[in-house]
Amino acid sequence: MDPDQIEARWSKNPMLLPKVMAVTLNISVGRSGEVLERAKKLLEELTGQKPVERRAKRTIREFGIRKNEPIATSVTIRGKKAYELLDRLAGAVDRKIKAESFDEFGNFAFGIKEHIDIPGVKYRADIGIFGMDVIVTMGRAGYRVAKRKVKRARIPRRHRLTKEEAIHYAKKYLNLEVVSEG
C-alpha cells in the first residue's frame, strides 16, 4: 500500500489509526550484583518508574551465569509518558531507524550504545555508562480483546497493523526517519 491509500484508510475509519502501546527499555549486564543495581538506578532516573529484574533462563558456564540469577533489568512505559520518552530516546539515534527494525506486526526496536547519547542525560561517575535496547510496541484501538481475561478473542487479520503502516506512522506522526540499508 502506498502512503496515500494508508492515509485514506485511516481517515475513513479512526479505529485503524495506530498508536504506541508501550515503550520498553532493557539493559542486560550479564551478571548480578552492584553493576545490575547501577543499571536499575539509571532506568529509574530515566523513566521515573521502578524497573524489574530479569533472570537467566539457564546456566551458561562459559559466561559464569547460573539459572535464575538476575542478569538484566527492564521497565515498560505506557500512555502519554511513552510518547514523551520515545521522543527523547529517538534523539540518541539521530531520529533514524532501520526499516529492518520493524517486524511484520508493526513493532520496532533499536539500540542505544551509551545512555549519555540521550539528550538531557549527563554522565555520572557513580552510575557509569550503559547501553540499552528500546522496544516500541505498536497497536490499534481494540487490541485489548487479545489481552483481557474475560471473553478473550483474536485480532482479525484485517485489523492487524502491518509493517508498511507502522513505517508510515513512524515517519509522519513520530517524526522518525526510516532508512533502508542496502
Residue 32: predicted pLDDT: 82
pLDDT for 32-73, tens place per residue?
Answer: 889 999 999 999 999 999 999 998 888 888 888 888 888 899
Rounded Cα distance between 71 and 36, Å, is 7
DSSP label at 62? G
Phi, psi of 134 (to 5 degrees): -120, 120
Q: How many CB atoms lie within 10 A of CB 73?
A: 25
Residue 12 in this model has a pLDDT that exceeds 90: yes
Q: Which domains does the chain have, with CATH numbers?
A: 3-179 (3.30.1440.10)
Of 74, 72, 79, whose CA–CA distance to 55 is shortest?
72
Residue 28 in this model has a pLDDT that exceeds 60: yes
Contact 69, 128 (CB under 8 A): no
Residue 67: predicted pLDDT: 87
Torsion over CA: 37, 41, 43, 47 (sign): positive
Residue 100: predicted pLDDT: 93
What percentage of the chain carries pLDDT values higher than 70? 99
Arithmetic mean of pLDDT, 88-117: 92
pLDDT for 112-143, tens place per residue?
Answer: 999 888 888 888 888 889 999 999 999 999 88
Residue 27 in this model has a pLDDT that exceeds 90: yes
- Measured CA to CA in angstroms, residue 106 lies from 49, 50, 63, 102, 124 at distances of 26, 27, 34, 6, 35
**Whole-prediction pTM value?**
0.89
Of 154, 16, 24, whose CA–CA distance to 81 is shortest?
24
Residue 181 in this model has a pLDDT that exceeds 80: no
Residue 182 in this model has a pLDDT that exceeds 70: no
Rounded Cα distance between 43 and 47, Å, is 6
